[in-house]
A and B are shown apart, each in its own frame.
Chain A
């Protein structure tokens, strides 16, 4: 049985129907029941029992740390959890345990949450899924023959499979949003700099963003406010869609030859749903997608090769093939290419800001197909088309939430807001979630 929502568990913890220790046991029972198929969890945090017992003792003594008190969460294995190694999914990574929790993990624990354990990532957060690594890749709970997307693969899969309601991930080019879309859960890449990067493995300092993945819009907003206390995420959750002006970036993805037309229909239907809920929709013209993708790709590959060169030279035989191929390809680029790419970022950011002056938020697709089958990757990495990287380049907040099923696999609607307006993004997401049943659909495992 999937674990209860944060709200349900919170009520039960406070009226004495459930203890945090029992809630932790329910999470472990769910993991034992389904993770053999999903393969999301890589390590359990041995501190969890003590944290749950402490949560119970505090509640019994009247000390309530807030809505996450006693609630378990999972952490992508590119983020430090004290006492556990941060493997980054690679045999080449040093296995010394992290000395301290990443800031985001520490904030969750300080809010009373229970650190359940570490979950899967693509190797170095770069590319996957790849067979033949230390651990097999996580599988999509909706159909375990299909991929989860990545790199926050375990975070999205664990939430979708009902093993946990909350998980930490990180997003350099879509690594929170694409697995959230493929697995039918909610994930947000917040405005750049919102969540402290301390304790996260940095792939590209300018593009990286830690953030939450959760089962519902409200739980995602709650988790974001805990890991980024200065961020206002929950303030407008109940305001509905009436009066909103939303820009639909339909042309930005509708003519891509890689688009599955059923994804276009799902996103069109989602936009229509927001219109029926009271939002005014206009189509908006976006900057050239190919250029935005090119800028991000140059930045990731130049910075990624610089970062990884010492490890590739010293421990290359321990790297997986896909990550090796992807990182080494950056050798054809130069520092001049990086400088030119960085020089375009202000103008691209201004162009998205200009679109957002005409509307409250931009709507578009997260991914252009449902999750491919593992079999498609038998001969190497496969291009998975999406519309995520541009907002890592510009730094705008971007959230993905489920908007339909294609062949029984979820796809996502992406909502992009003004910088610092996470509350506005969550308002739209909550209005859409309330008007549809996509978020209550769960895979049968």
Chain B
């Protein structure tokens, strides 16, 4: 997924919670979100 699409998906997820992604927060939030999505993938793959 391109960075623009990732940012849009994150913005939608936050909007659903009533939160707004400030432009100055976008890059750092996306970086952490990518790490978390990778973590969730690892967790799913390890399910018994």
Contact = CB atoms under 8 A, between A and B. Distances in A.
Contacts of A309: 17-19
Contact of B28 (A313, A325, A330, A341): A325
A328 B39 contact: no
A329 interface: yes
Contacts of A328: 14, 19, 21, 25, 29
Contacts of B47: 340, 343-344
B25 A341 contact: no
A332 B33 CA distance: 6
Contact of B40 (A298, A325, A331): A298
B28 A332 contact: no
Interface string A346-372: 010000000000000000000000000
Interface in B23-40: 24-25, 27-30, 32-33, 35-40
Contacts of A341: 43
B36 A330 contact: yes
A436 B13 CA distance: 52
A198 to B, nearest CB: 29
Classify the secondary structure of B's interface with A.
Answer: helix
Contacts of B36: 297-298, 301, 329-330, 332-333
Interface stretch (A12-20, A170-178, A258-266, A286-294): A286-294
Contacts of B19: 309, 312-313, 316, 328, 331
A343 B35 CA distance: 20
B33 A294 contact: no
Given A321-B25, A344-B47, A380-B28, A329 B39 contact: no
Contacts of B16: 331
A325 B22 CA distance: 9
B4 interface: no
Nearest to A383: B35
Given A328-B14, A343-B47, A294 B21 contact: no
Given A316-B19, A340-B47, A297 B39 contact: yes
Given A321-B24, A331-B13, A347-B48, 13 more contacts: A291-B42, A294-B39, A298-B36, A298-B39, A313-B19, A316-B20, A328-B14, A328-B21, A329-B10, A332-B9, A333-B37, A344-B43, A344-B47
Interface of A: 290-291, 293-295, 297-298, 301, 305, 309, 312-313, 316, 321-322, 324-326, 328-333, 337, 340-341, 343-344, 347, 380-381
15 contacts: A294-B38, A294-B40, A309-B17, A325-B28, A326-B32, A328-B14, A329-B29, A329-B36, A331-B16, A332-B10, A332-B33, A332-B37, A333-B40, A340-B47, A347-B48
